[in-house]
Amino acid sequence: MAVFGVLAAVLGVVGLVSPDAMIRLMGLAPAPEAGRADGDHTLLFLTASSMAALNMGVYYVFAALADWKPFFRWTVPFRLLTCTVFTLAVVSGRAPSGFLGVGLWEGVGALVTGAALRVEARRAARVSA
């Protein structure tokens, strides 16, 4: 959880400081500033998404420091939902293929978190038995 949190926070900062770098990380080509059409809200959306990533990253780090298991459990279904939505966005043509990495990141994170929670629960059951 802490690793995910740090990575999310760092990527959030990258998006806030250098939106074009974040766009490139997603496998997309940034538009030159002069080439942006009136009403192009790409940078606004990226700023909002990056701030959300920074906040969520900090939440994850604090939850990990507090060993807050209910939070960890809640993240699994919601990260799987996020994986599904982002993957369907790519499959349906609503998002470019570079966006698939976001869905995979969430899906793998959910599976790893779920597996870690299961292993810890089994260990705790053995210790208390």
Digits of tens for pLDDT over the chain (129 positions)? 899 899 999 999 999 999 989 888 877 788 877 777 878 788 888 999 999 999 999 999 999 999 999 999 999 999 999 999 999 999 999 988 878 888 998 999 999 999 999 999 999 888 887
DSSP letter (8 states) at residue 64: H
Least Cα distance to 8 among 77, 63, 87, 66 occurs for: 63
Predicted pLDDT of residue 61: 96
Predicted pLDDT of residue 1: 87
Predicted pLDDT of residue 107: 96
Q: Helix, strand, or coil here: 105?
A: helix
